[in-house]
């Protein structure tokens, strides 16, 4: 297991006088989050671009960073890969003409406030608009953090009613915002309600709490989630430096409670768009008992051009993984289709040629093999 950071090594501008016990209390972390220029300035050497962006950021997506996550950031390096994910930059005020407020077309598929029904047998339920910290590449920045006019007001009765009436739905994905910010008792009641619906077979939660606020992953939370098995957790992780000793402890605790873990990673330019970052990320996830699930092409969210790579970058990363490392370490690369087509897998081309009687296939090392079309 990676070393945990010693509290005595954390500067007091971040530690804010916390005792060990306070630091490990997730409510202390949330109450002491970094959400203002003076606080951030005391902890980091802000660049002009960052400082200017902080003056504007609050209009688009709030800034808030837990002391724990801030302690992982290099205070002097504006290019730090963790820092760029949570500290705004003036680049996010540039909106490309290809960009949208709702790039995945969720609002069009909202069948009740907060409930998105895109695929035949599963739904997305937005449980809250709050997160422990806000990602600058957030795909749901139009509703998340509560600073825009577009407020998320999930209508729980209408959502449960819709799911009850639609017997084809067998899978409910809770996301937001971060559902694990809700109190245990509230999560328990939401999950109990879903579990009381006979056709719901499978539950899952999308969360970044193990990365931003691992202190929240208490035994009591794990026991609550476990009650509603099968329940999978998809953890949003973008960089191996996020998988600290604290994050690993949180993930292993979830796994020990029988909660299967998957990951979701967003491909981000200058942050993780390199095989030298991607490979150790997936290897480290497996060590933390997380099975890499999706690698997302960065959505066309407004103000995200500086984060976006080409599709070829993602394809090259998958090519460099497939065959070269454990299949378990390889996520599926997907594009969430602009305008609302859902997730589309994008793969390197392993079929080189197809004739009437055979296909020519390329293996991971570039060697060619033929396979008959008719058996």
Ligand X SMILES: *Cc1c(COP(=O)(O)O)cnc(C)c1O
Instruction: Show binding-site residues.
Output: 131, 135, 138
Q: Residue 241 Cβ, how far from ligand X at the closest point, in Å?
A: 26
Q: Residue 339 Cβ, how far from ligand X at the closest point, in Å?
A: 13
Question: Per-residue x/- marks for ligand X, 159-178, CB under 6 A?
Answer: --------------x-----
Interface residue with ligand X, options 24, 119, 186, 362 (CB under 6 A): 119
Neighbour-count burial of 251, counting CB atoms closer than 10 A to its CB (0-12 exposed, 13-18 middle, 19+ buried)? buried
Neighbour-count burial of 70, counting CB atoms closer than 10 A to its CB (0-12 exposed, 13-18 middle, 19+ buried)? buried
Binding residues among 332-371 for ligand X as defined by CB under 6 A:
343
- Please identify, among the stretches 17-25, 74-82, 116-124, 152-160, the one whose residues bind ligand X according to the rule CB under 6 A: 116-124
Does 202 bind ligand X (CB under 6 A)? Our answer is no
Interface residue with ligand X, options 62, 115, 124, 298 (CB under 6 A): 124
Q: Which residues are catalytic?
A: 118-119, 122, 131, 135, 138, 140, 299, 336, 343
Does 236 bind ligand X (CB under 6 A)? Our answer is no
Q: Which residue, 77 or 167, is less far from ligand X as judged by CB?
A: 167
Please give the structure tokens belonging to residue 289: 């008992």
Q: CA–CA distance from 38 to each of 45, 69, 245 (Å)? A: 11, 18, 29
Interface residue with ligand X, options 51, 122, 257, 291 (CB under 6 A): 122
Q: Residue 116 Cβ, how far from ligand X at the closest point, in Å?
A: 4
Query: How many residues form the binding site for ligand X (CB under 6 A)?
Result: 7
Q: Which residue, 183 or 339, is less far from ligand X as judged by CB?
A: 339
Q: Residue 122 Cβ, how far from ligand X at the closest point, in Å?
A: 5
- Please identify, among the stretches 49-57, 85-93, 112-120, 185-193, the one whose residues bind ligand X according to the rule CB under 6 A: 112-120
- Annotated binding site for [4Fe-4S] cluster, which residues? 131, 135, 138
Taking the C-alpha atoms of residue 57 and residue 147, their distance in angstroms, rounded to an integer, is: 10
By CB under 6 A, name the binding residues for ligand X: 116, 118-119, 122, 124, 173, 343
């Amino acid at each position: 297991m990676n070393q945990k950071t010693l509290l005595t090594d954390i500067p007091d501008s971040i530690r804010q006088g916390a005792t060990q016990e306070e630091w490990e209390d997730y409510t202390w972390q949330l109450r002491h989050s970094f959400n203002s220029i003076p606080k951030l300035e005391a902890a980091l050497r802000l660049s002009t671009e960052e400082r200017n962006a902080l003056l504007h950021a609050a209009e688009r997506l709030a800034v808030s960073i837990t002391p724990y996550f801030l302690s992982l950031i290099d205070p002097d390096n504006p290019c730090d890969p963790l820092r760029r994910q949570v500290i705004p930059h003036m680049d996010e005020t540039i909106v490309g003409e290809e960009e949208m407020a709702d790039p995945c077309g969720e609002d069009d598929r909202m069948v009740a406030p907060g409930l998105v029904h895109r695929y035949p047998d599963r739904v997305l339920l937005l449980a809250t608009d709050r997160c422990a910290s806000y990602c600058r590449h957030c795909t749901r920045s139009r509703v998340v953090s509560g600073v825009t006019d577009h407020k998320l007001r999930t209508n729980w009765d209408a959502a449960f009613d819709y799911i009850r009436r639609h017997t084809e739905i067998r899978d409910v994905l809770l996301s937001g915002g971060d559902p694990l910010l809700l109190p245990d008792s509230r999560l328990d009641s939401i999950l109990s309600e879903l579990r009381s619906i006979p056709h719901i077979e499978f539950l899952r939660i999308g969360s970044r709490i193990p990365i931003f606020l691992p202190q929240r992953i208490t035994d009591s939370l794990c026991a609550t989630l476990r009650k509603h098995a099968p329940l999978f957790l998809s953890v949003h992780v973008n960089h191996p430096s996020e998988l600290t000793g604290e994050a690993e402890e949180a993930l292993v605790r979830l796994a020990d409670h029988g909660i299967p873990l998957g990951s979701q990673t967003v491909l981000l330019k200058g942050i993780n768009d390199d095989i030298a970052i991607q490979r150790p990320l997936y290897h480290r996830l497996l060590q933390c008992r997380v099975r890499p699930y999706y690698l997302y092409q960065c959505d066309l969210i407004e103000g995200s051009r500086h984060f976006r790579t080409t599709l070829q970058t993602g394809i090259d990363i998958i090519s460099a993984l497939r065959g070269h490392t454990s299949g378990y370490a390889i996520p599926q690369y997907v594009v969430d289709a602009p305008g609302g087509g859902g997730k589309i897998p994008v793969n390197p081309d392993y079929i080189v040629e197809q004739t009437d009687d055979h296909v020519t296939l390329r293996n991971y090392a570039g060697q060619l093999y033929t396979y008959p079309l008719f058996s």
